[in-house]
Structure 1
Amino acid sequence: MYDRILVPTDGSEYAEAAAERAFDLAETTDAAVFVVCVVEEGPLGSVRLPGDGASAAEAFAERAETFVGRLEKRARERGLEVETEIREGVPVRELLAYADEVGAAVAVMGSRGRGGVSRMMLGSVTDGVTREGDIDVLVVGEKGATA
């Protein structure tokens, strides 16, 4: 079935729930997991934050290490083979490129369930991966439900 599972994270509760489902699937299929976080490029990334003066992109990159490290630890505690990656760029593009690089057959992703105008204005990384990728996508929604 699946021998390589992509586990994207942004540190949200939805990504955390998706990771747990991905780890369950990896245990069942004896698959390796590939945890990845993408630090998004863009005009807001250069904005300096109050306090230490770090840019928004720098601050998120530091948090990305925490997000990825936390999932790596949980995967290892479950006895799973895990690799991690932090990338910079356009999330959908970077996730699909990484999935291709590691040969992932499925991505297990969280979704906030945005709809209507919010989705049209903000877009959805999960939707983008589903539409643009040549990879199966297991979507874990609110309360861990799957679609």
Structure 2
Amino acid sequence: METKHNLNELNVSDFALVFEDLTRIFIRLPSIEKLSFTTLSVLHTLCRKSPMRLTELTANEQVTQSAITQLVTRLERDGLVERRPDPNDGRVVLVHITAQGANIIDSRRLERMKRISTFMDGLTLEEKQAIAAAMPSLRRLVELGSDS
């Protein structure tokens, strides 16, 4: 596959491959709190969108209702999330992340930031500036992806 080097044109294939590789590295970086990918994904989701209904978590995490119910039960037992009744609809239960659950995500993020900064030490000033300049576009891309 030929790589395009025209700075005015984004090669989506290159972009996807680089982000796949970066994501793989990023996911595996923290050496603390060795939890399953699905567990961490649920905690990350709840860190950003807590509280959520079980049905929302099921759709967001792309797992079965049974799987998310079992996972939330285990996370609740471990003190990482809690279920509370929805104040607007007593028939509905909302899943909230606890301070302990949020702390796991925060500590992983801090460790990840520390490790990534060591990688960035190997970049030139121009490369660092290019990444900084791309941040608004990358944030917007995340917003667009989150809406779908």
The structure, 1 or 2, with the larger RCO (C-alpha pairs under 8 Å, 6+ apart) is 1
**TM-score of the two chains, using structure 1 as the length reference:** 0.22
- Normalising by structure 2, we get a TM-score of 0.22
Bigger-Rg structure (1/2): 2
